[in-house]
Amino acid sequence: MATNESAVTELTVEDLVAGIGLEREVILKSTNPIFNNKSVRIRSLKAKEFRQITQKASVKPNDLASNFEWCMEACRIGILTPGIAERVGDLDHDIILQIGGQIIAGSIADEKKIENFTTAD
């Protein structure tokens, strides 16, 4: 597969800072009318933040408690909307799972890309 080398540039510290600051928005869906259709600004976790979460709790398939703990920790770190991260424990559980799930999903590498890394040139 040919690449257009003129379009390739080296990653810089400025790129790193810009990437860390990249924000996304989660539109909440809830049976609680206070939270429904509200938005929250989030960011992906940095590698060291993701590692901190994985060291606190291991996620087991079909284990709601560990998944919830991961989402809580991800919310505490990745929510950018002022005041919300500090009060994440006051949110409804379904909201924590929605927001935390989006933060984690944006922070995990695609398994196929990781597998393909071992065969990279």
- Give the pLDDT of residue 107: 77
SS3 67: helix
- Residue of 56, 26, 60, 57 whose CA lies nearest to 43: 26
d(CA 48, CA 27): 27
- Give the pLDDT of residue 57: 73
CB atoms within 10 A of CB 69: 17
- Give the pLDDT of residue 117: 42
Q: Are 91 and 36 in contact (CB under 8 A)?
A: no
Q: Which amino acid is at 29?
A: K
For 112, the token pair is 């196929």
Residue 70 confidence (pLDDT) above 50: yes
- Residue of 64, 44, 62, 45 whose CA lies nearest to 53: 45
- Angstrom distances, CA of residue 22 to CA of 15, 16, 17: 10, 10, 9
Percent of all residues in the chain with a pLDDT value above 70, rounded to a whole number: 84
- Give the pLDDT of residue 79: 97
- Residue of 29, 44, 19 whose CA lies nearest to 106: 44
- Give the pLDDT of residue 118: 45
Residue 121 confidence (pLDDT) above 70: no
